[in-house]
Amino acid sequence: MNKKQKKTPGIPTFERSVDRIFYEMDQKFATRNKIVYAVFIALAFFGVMGLIWMIPFPKLGFLVRTNMDTFLNWGSFYIAIIIYLYLRLAPTLSYAMLFTIGVMSFCIVQLEYVERDGGPAVWLVCTVLTVIGIVGATFQAKKEPTEIPPAAIWRLLTVGPIWLWSKIFTVLKIKY
């Protein structure tokens, strides 16, 4: 046992921090219906990513000439930070999240096209999805048999996507 790890009665020790985090989340969000969490977490994650994506980014002269200005936005930085944090937590799962984020990015770009053609504003759609995701995850957490503090709900919304991928990897017997 590592000197930094403390033995707590009833709680197993873990070699990797990701195992400890997922264990704690499994204990707090013990419901068998992880699909409900998956839907609300995905909505919240997509909504937040879309809102960050839509923050105006300064036009950089050298990028405008190469048509690269459409790909560089605040969402790109958000994605890089999220993937880096997930990569440090569990590399294999971060690749699954990269795929998920790629699909979500495609959907956000499609929403931009819809807005350009007269549809609803992307920021409005993303705000609605974020609110539905956060409120839904909060209400689902309130149904849990034990009291869940607000900090645990925020952890669910930040680490939740990779935690849900861990469940899929476990079912498929893929090591992470």
Across the chain, which distance is largest between two alpha carbons, in Å? 62
At 149 the pLDDT is 79
pLDDT value, residue 20? 85
Low-confidence ranges of the chain (pLDDT < 50): 1-3, 5, 68-69
**What pLDDT digit, counting tens, does each position of 98-122 carry?**
999 999 999 999 999 999 999 999 9
Q: Quick one: pLDDT at residue 73?
A: 82
Q: What is the pTM of this model?
A: 0.79
Taking the CA atoms of residue 59, residue 98, residue 158 and residue 79 in that order, the dihedral angle to the nearest 10 degrees is -10
pLDDT at 2: 47
Give me the residue label for tokens 């936005």. 73
